[in-house]
Amino acid sequence: MPDRIYNFSPGPATLPQEVLAQAAKDIVNFHDKGIGLIEMSHRSKEFMAVVDETEALLRRLMDIPDNYKVLFLQGGASTQFAMIPMNLLGPGRKASYLNTGTWAKKAIKEANIVAEAHVAYSSEESTFDHVPKTDDFTVDPDSEYLYLVSNNTIYGTQFADFPQSDKMLVCDMSSDILSRRFDIRPFGLVFAGAQKNMGPAGVTVVIIRDDLLDRAPDNLPTMLRYKTHADKGSMFNTPPCFAIYVVGQVCKWLEKIGGVAAMEEKNREKAAILYDMIDATDFYKGHARPDSRSLMNVTFNLPSPELEAEFISQATKEGLDGLKGHRSIGGCRASIYNAFPRQGVLDLVAFMKKFEQAHR
């Protein structure tokens, strides 16, 4: 087994090696201060500088305008399923949701506890094998926002283009943030758990437009208000210090290699290599429709569950780890996020060819 395997896991996922090396050093002795990063006060000038730099990097990489706040929160992306309607809706108010997978369904469930979620579209009948085009659905005119999940990790689908709507968009970008360029201005709120493309588990980045901060009802608990965290620069309570630091390091790495535009080009190339392999044979079959295919999570099946189990077992022995599909649909899944190397995709394709020849 090599020192470093190829980690195809959907998350926590591969991080850049240089980021891991720097983090390992800074955990022990941060900037030669004689104290480790994870020992430092979150209110020290050194750590406050880390937060400020991380926010500045994200703003540059994503072209985030000044009228948006960048928050570093805890509770995972799943907490946002509830915080969003709690802050932006309230009793008697409504929002429209696009049901394109498990995480959208969970968000819809939480929204219905607080207010009313209008399901404008669902691809559940086809096992979530596609995402809709703008003309495939109608947003309820009384909706405050249109909610979508940009990339569906379990099913391997992704919006190639975001929907057009006269309502503001709210988006879960947990699994494809920083992977491609997009204009944030039609969005009122974007959020992402860090553990796919940005860093380790533990911090959720929320980007919210200023004018939405005062929408929360008076009876909403303090910690569940976006304004609480915006007013205190994400320092109302002790933040997930190490996770924020790693997000900053990943952003530095991303900026150094050319930013989001360069990353998007690399991601498209990696995904094309793998999809070309799948399309070249009937031994492997992709789950997602071609026009909805994800650049981040490539889902596919073999002719039988038994062959899939053997494929995953043999691949793991060769250092190609984490290829088992989600338990809800089975099959195989190769997650190839930003930091996943091109060589790993090439090695997987070579293994797929060898496995097919041996099992036809």
Which of 69, 167, 196, 266 is the catalytic position? 196
Catalytic residue among 26, 69, 103, 253: 103
Cα–chain-centroid distance for residue 301? 23
Told to judge if 196 belongs to the known catalytic residues of this protein, a careful annotator would answer: yes
Nearest-CA neighbor of 262 among 164, 331, 179?
Answer: 179
Rg (C-alpha) for the chain, rounded Å, is 21
Catalytic status, residue 253: no
Pick from 88, 112, 74, 49: which is nearest to 209 by CA?
Answer: 88
C-alpha torsion sign, points 275, 106, 338, 182: positive
Among residues 132, 174, 134, the alpha carbon closest in space to that of 153 is found at 174
Kind of pairing between the strands at 151-152 and 157-158: antiparallel
Q: Would you put residue 202 in left (φ > 0), alpha (ψ -120 to 50) or beta?
A: left
Retrieve residue 118's tokens.
């209008």
DSSP 69-117: EEEEE-SHHHHHHHHHHHHHT-TT-EEEEEE-SHHHHHHHHHHHHHSEE
Contacts of 217 (CB under 8 A, 6+ apart): 86, 90
Residue 231: CA atoms inside 13 Å, Cβ hemisphere, count?
Answer: 9
Q: For residue 54, what are its two tokens?
A: 């991380």
Place of tokens 């994200």: 58
State the catalytic residue, choosing from 26, 69, 167, 172: 172
**φ, ψ at 232 (rounded to 5°):** -105, 15
Residues labelled catalytic:
103, 172, 196
